[in-house]
């Protein structure tokens, strides 16, 4: 049976979401803002973040996968759900649960630029900088975290654990 070790509590997450939403609201006061969430992991974070942002915005989702049922990225990104929001001329903020190798995020950013986004920036709940295989910039980061496989608050292992209220290190 896997062991779960708490890394961030529900309260830690709520405070960081409020803080980053305040910064985003200030930076995007005069923008045509669209939040684009990477499914499935970012949906809980994006819902909480959107409710805390005080400027008008639109929401869209893209489904991408580079993990499948493994705990290691395959390095190959595939679209599992196409974006259903026209981002032409919009200031897009990609909302990610976790930025790890950067491969998936790099793919999403290029995808949005190719679809005519005016600007593309990134907001991540968790930033695992030491694991980068592709250089990507995280403009808004709630938490920089160390090595370890994390679950909870939208993050999963083989589609399990997304519903946990905090972030946990999954020890196999």
| 14: enclosing H helix or E strand | helix 10-27
Residue position matching structure tokens 């920089």: 144
Burial class (CB in 10 A: 0-12, 13-18, 19+), 41: buried
Nearest residue to 124 via CA among 90, 148, 153: 153
Catalytic: which of 91, 100, 127, 156? 100
Give the strand order in the sheet containing 3-8.
3-8, 167-171, 150-151
- Residue 12 falls in the annotated catalytic set: no
**Which element (helix H / strand E) includes 91?**
strand 91-99
The span from the CA of 171 to the CA of 147, in Å, is 12
Phi/psi for 160 (5° steps) reads -110, 160
Active site residues: 100
């Amino acid at each position: 049976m896997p062991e779960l070790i708490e890394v961030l509590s529900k309260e830690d997450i709520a405070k960081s979401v409020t803080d980053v939403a305040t910064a985003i609201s200030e930076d995007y006061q005069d923008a045509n803002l669209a939040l684009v969430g990477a499914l499935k992991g970012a949906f809980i974070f994006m819902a909480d973040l959107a409710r805390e942002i005080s400027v008008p915005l639109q929401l869209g989702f893209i489904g991408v996968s580079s993990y499948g049922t493994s705990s290691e990225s395959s390095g190959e990104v595939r679209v599992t759900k196409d974006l259903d929001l026209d981002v032409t001329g919009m200031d897009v903020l990609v909302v990610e649960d976790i930025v790890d190798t950067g491969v998936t995020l790099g793919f999403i950013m290029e995808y949005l630029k190719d679809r005519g986004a005016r600007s593309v920036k990134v907001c991540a709940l968790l930033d695992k900088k030491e694991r980068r295989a592709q250089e990507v910039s995280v403009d808004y980061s709630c938490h920089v975290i160390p090595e370890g496989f994390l679950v909870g608050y939208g993050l999963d292992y083989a589609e399990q654990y997304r519903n946990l209220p905090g972030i946990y290190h999954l020890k196999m």
